[in-house]
Structure formats: C-alpha cells, structure tokens
Structure 1
Amino acid sequence: MNSLFAQLTLADVHQDVARNIVSLRESQDLFDDLTDDPAEWLLAQKVEDEVKPPPYRSRMPIIDRPFEDADWFNAIVWPFKHWQANRFSDGSYGVWYGSESVETTVYESAYHWYRGLLSDAGFDRQIVIAERKVYWVACQAALLDFRNAAEEHPDLLHPSDYVFCQSVGTRIHREGHPGILTPSVRRPQGENVAIFNAAVLSNPRHNCQLTYRLEGRQIVVEKQPGAAWITLDVANFL
C-alpha cells in the first residue's frame, strides 16, 4: 500500500465526465398503481410534495428551477446518500464514478447490469431491457493519478476482486482526498474517475438516453430506439 501511494502524482482535472445511471425514457406516474384517475395522481403527488423535505439546497436558489434540483440529485448526490460496496468502497461511505466518454460508461455499466442479472433465475431465457440516462458533469479537482500504477499493482484492475481497491479507497476516504483517476477495467482505452467528495462536481447536463437490450449472448445498446449503437458479447463478462 505505501509503495503504491509513494509513486502517485496528481492529475489536475478540469473537464466534463460522463455519468451513466438507471432512468426511464418515458416517465411513469408513481401513483398509477393506486388509482386509474389522473386527478387523484395529482392529489397524491401534491400531498407527498407538502410533507417531503427537499433533498437539495441550491447555492443560488433565485435562479434554480425544479428540474435542476432533480438533475443535481440524480447525477451527483445519489451515491453520497445511498452507500454501497463497490470497487473503492466497502459500503461505509459513498463513491461517485464517472468516465471520460459515454462509450466507457456503457462498457462499465453493462458489465454490472449483466452480473446483477445472473442472480435472477430464468433471465437468460428471455429478452431483458434496461433504460439509462447519461449526464455530463463538470469535475474540477486535483485527483490522485493511478493510471501508471496498475502495472506494478495489478490488483487495482482486478475484474472482480475488490479487496485491495477497497483498502485503497478506505485510506483515500480517511485522509480526505477528493478522488482518483484510473484506467477503466472494462474498456482498456477508457479512463474512470472515482470521486469521494461531491464538492468537486458541478453543472450536471443531460447527454443522452440509452436502451440496453440483452438478447441471447449479446447486449445491444441503442441511442435511438431500434438502432444498435454498441454491441457487447457477454462472454467477456464471465
């Protein structure tokens, strides 16, 4: 561990990074399973809005609009509020992940989506569809640069064993570093950022909507419905 940190440099990052999250192409009313009357949907939504505390407080509330609140929460805040174990977290703190390109987020997210499906019996006997949204998010931070460290520390890029990476993440979290820049495990020509401090992220903007369609041994990714954009072989995920 000490030898790894001793060789690190800082990468001064001032750029947009892509954040890929689960999201429907067409929104669905949250109360449509309670009643068939749209007027009652509106009433239920009004009641919820009156009792639910707002998740986000703008630094400039005079000029912010409601959809900016939603974008901020969905694209930035979510992983810092809902902790879960992942490559650089043992689940006791939140880490936000983004990539240098939309393509890299597809490779990363498709892997985790497919691995999650493996626990569902019978999923491989039917077509499975998922819908996702990609945001551009501004990142401005001095990040620990792990891009050259993987040659001497291959466990940083292990496809499934996160023990070493989580120990690295625990130290980064404890010492208060904003985040890291690292090669993508799922797309070797890509790069990822893992952010531990939401303060270095800002200005979320919608980039595109994606559909993932698992058909047999392939995941077909669409930007436009019905038109394949990227096709991935799930054999590479096993």
Structure 2
Amino acid sequence: MSASLEDLLPGRAGPIQTYRLVASAHPAISLFGDLEDLSPEDWDLAYALEAMTNPRLRDERGELVLIPQAERVYGPGSSLIMAAFAYRNPRGSRFSDGSFGVYYCAELEETAIREVAYHMGKFFGATQEAPQTFVARNIGAELEGSAYDVFALNEPWLRDDDYSACQAFARQARVQVDCLRYQSVRHPGQVAYAVFRPKALRNARHIRYVELYWDGNRFTHAANISLEL
C-alpha cells in the first residue's frame, strides 16, 4: 500500500444526499425511532429488556454494544442508520475487517444498485440459486462529516478484490475521520462512501423498493417499485 494517512489531509464531505440498498426482510418501520422520547440510558434498558424475548428486534438492531453511546443516533429514520453499525461481519468488507460496522452508500442510486448486484451475485452464484427476484430497499440519507477523499488516488489496492490493504487503511482512517470518499469499483467514475460513524448521517428514510432479477447466473436488470399496497 503506497498511500498512507500522512499523504492525505482531512476534508469535509457533504452535506450531500446518498443512497444505499439493503435486503428487504421486514416491513419498512423504524424500531429505533419508536423510542425517541426516552433518554439514552432508558432507551438502552428498554431495548435490553425487549430484545430478550423478541428475535425480530434483535435481528434489526443487532449488537448495540458495538456502537459507543456517544455516537448513537435516535429518532425517526435512525434504525436505518444504526443497523449498519450494529453487526459484526466475520468476513469483513472493503473498508472493515469485520470488527466494526460501516455504512456503505453512494451519490447515485444506480451506483448503489450496481454495488449490491455485484455482491449479491457472488453469493447467489456460490449457493447456486435458482432464477428469482431479489427485493431490496432503497434508503436515502444525508451525509455530512470529516472525510479522507481517496477518489482520485490511482492505487490498485483501492479497487482490488483482495480487501486487506483497504482494511488496514480504514483501521487507521476511522480514528481520524467520519468517512471515506472513494470511487465505486462496480460503477467506475462514480462516488461511493464508507461511513464510520452514525452521527455523520441524518434524515434516513425508505425511498422505494427495488427488484433485481437473477437469471440463475447473474443479475440481469433492476426495476424500481414505487407502489406500496
């Protein structure tokens, strides 16, 4: 890895509208937002009590202890933000070794769709899934925070499918900044973000459902669903 933090100066990202696709496993509700009138201490107690007997709640909220209390967000839409930080991913991702959560998003809806189609395509291919429709939720949120901008860096490790160099870089960067601005690997020339802190995001909301069509070998196309019954 030839680039280092010493080569970069922290800047600002946003305020800017971003998009993120997540699998649609549950109805579009906000569990974090339900308790917005409670203090953080009371909220944590209420969550702990309910999570003991509510598997669905545990599934959406994940492991709250992974998020420092000072960095948590509450109120309408906060569940859509917090969920990304409340899970350990043992396999890791481009900018996480799996020990911390990252909210991945993009400036364009198409970029978010292409990123998800690629990664879900790898999974569907590995498990030899039959032709089907994969439904995801398109989440919009405003991003504003300190950032390292690596979009223009001509570094192969930023686009390599071996994430080890990106993960090493991110472990250092997240101590210094709220997010990284980088070039999408799956939609070249377009901007993506790796957000390290919930408080860099606000006004998260469900925009629409998106259908991605799997033909048994790859995702061939996507369609927006604007009608909810």
1:92: which partner in 2? 99
1:36-115 mapped onto 2 (5 Å cutoff)? 51-52=49-50, 68=76, 71-73=77-79, 75-84=80-89, 85-115=92-122
- Give the CA deviation at 1:119: 2.3
Check whether the contact 2:21–2:138 (CA below 8 A) recurs between aligned residues: yes
Distance 1:50 1:100 in 2: 35
Letter in 1 for 2:18: V
> Percent identity of the aligned residues?
22
Distance 1:213 1:142, change over 3 A: same
Uncovered stretches (5+) of structure 1, i.e. residues with no partner? 28-48, 226-238
Distance 2:24 2:171 in 1: 30
Q: Does 2:123 match 1:116?
A: yes
Distance 1:2 1:50 in 2: 45
**Farther off after superposition, 203-212 or 100-109:** 203-212
Distance 1:206 1:7, change over 3 A: same
Letter in 2 for 1:4: S
Distance 1:3 1:132 in 2: 35
- Give the CA deviation at 1:24: 5.1
TM-score by length of 1: 0.70
TM-score by length of 2: 0.72
- Give the CA deviation at 1:166: 0.6
2:159: which partner in 1? 157
- Give the CA deviation at 1:26: 6.7
SS at match of 2:97: coil
Letter in 2 for 1:72: S
Higher-Rg structure is 1
Distance 1:107 1:50, change over 3 A: closer
SS at match of 2:189: coil
2:224: which partner in 1? 223
Distance 1:171 1:51, change over 3 A: closer
Q: What number of residue pairs does the alignment pair up?
A: 188
Distance 2:179 2:4 in 1: 15
Distance 1:212 1:221 in 2: 4
Distance 2:125 2:216 in 1: 13
1:14: which partner in 2? 15
Letter in 1 for 2:204: P
- Give the CA deviation at 1:2: 6.9
Uncovered stretches (5+) of structure 2, i.e. residues with no partner? 29-46, 52-56
Deviations 1:49-86 (A, max 9, x none): 995158599x998xx5xxx3xx321x211121102210
